[in-house]
Amino acid sequence: AHPREENHPSCLPSSIAMNVLDYVTYNATGNVLICLKCHSAIQSKAIRCHYTSVHKYNSHIWKAIQQYATDRGAINFLYDLRPCPHESSTILDLSTHDGFQCRDCSYCTSSHKRMLTHTSSLHGAETIVGDRWFSLVILQRWKPNSVAPWWTVTHVNPEMHTTVHVPQTRASIQRYV
């Protein structure tokens, strides 16, 4: 689009352009935009769909966000996005979750049942005493409610944290080891 076209983001009223940061933030670690409404990473190629379908925003907003992504060189596709290393600092614009990390292979999940299945099937752990095979940790991932991989972080995000139910019989789990 030509910069002089009426709907080009650079021609939007400055009040809309200045409010882009009310909708999205740029994360340099992942080179990705994070939606501040649903706390999810957004690929540049999906900005229009995300903001019109999921949040029902008008074209002026998603076009300004698209320009913001272009200006920063944000990634186009989420498959280019890699998880952060384990024990990373917490990314404040993403939610944190209680979860489990395998002590043998570093597999992470937010599901106690999945962790028991993992340790039993991959490591031969007995389900009843499987707690010694994993630790409770704090997890993050780029897209909530997805199959994106988890990574462990050092601190809970107090504004956006999901706790996990751990059965009372699992008293031997060492919390946040």
pTM for this one? Answer: 0.76
So what's the pLDDT on residue 158?
A: 84
Look over the chain and give the mean of its residue pLDDT values, rounded to a whole number.
82
The sign of the CA dihedral 137, 141, 144, 148 is negative
So what's the pLDDT on residue 131?
A: 64
Give Cα 1 to chain centroid, integer Å.
31
Tens-place pLDDT, residues 86-97: 999 999 999 999
Tens-place pLDDT, residues 31-40: 999 999 999 9
* Torsion angle, alpha carbons of 156, 31, 147, 133, to 10: -50
Tens-place pLDDT, residues 126-163: 654 546 788 999 999 999 888 889 999 999 988 888 88
Per DSSP, 146 falls in state S
Tens-place pLDDT, residues 17-28: 458 999 999 999
Is it the case that residue 167 has pLDDT exceeding 90?
no
The predicted model gives 73-81 an average pLDDT of 89
Q: What spatial distance separates the first Cα and last Cα of the chain, rounded to whole Å? A: 52
CB 119 within 8 A of CB 130: yes
